A and B are shown apart, each in its own frame.
Chain A
Amino acid sequence: MKKSWWKILSFVLLVYTVVAGFLVAVPDLPIVHQSIRNLYFHVCMWFAMMILFIISFVYSIRYLNQSNYRYDIYARHFAAVGAYIGILGYATGAIWANYTWLTDQNQSFGSILKEPKLIGAAIALLIYGAYFVLRGSFTDIDKRARISAVYNIFAFVMLFPSIWIIPRMVGSLHPGGQGGEMGNPALNAQKDLDASMRMVFYPAVIGWALLGVWIATLKIRIQLITDKTLLHEEISPGVNNK
Chain B
Amino acid sequence: MKKSAPASIINKLLLVMAGLFFYTASFAQDKPVSEDLMRSNGKIYVVVAVCLTILAGLFIYVISIDRKISKIEKDN
Contacts and interface: CB of A to CB of B under 8 A. Distances in A.
A14 B55 CA distance: 8
B51 A221 contact: no
Dominant SS among interface residues on chain A: helix
A95 interface: no
B44 interface: yes
A31 interface: no
B21 interface: no
B41 to A, nearest CB: 8
Given A22-B47, A23-B44, A225-B69, A15 B63 contact: no
A202 interface: no
15 contacts: A1-B66, A1-B67, A1-B70, A2-B66, A18-B48, A18-B51, A18-B52, A22-B47, A22-B48, A23-B44, A214-B66, A218-B62, A218-B65, A218-B66, A222-B69
Interface of A: 1-2, 7, 11, 14-15, 18-19, 22-23, 211, 214-215, 218, 221-222, 225, 228
Interface in B40-57: 44-45, 47-48, 51-52, 55
B52 A19 contact: yes
Contacts of A19: 48, 52
A140 B70 CA distance: 30
A52 B18 CA distance: 55
Contacts of A18: 48, 51-52, 55
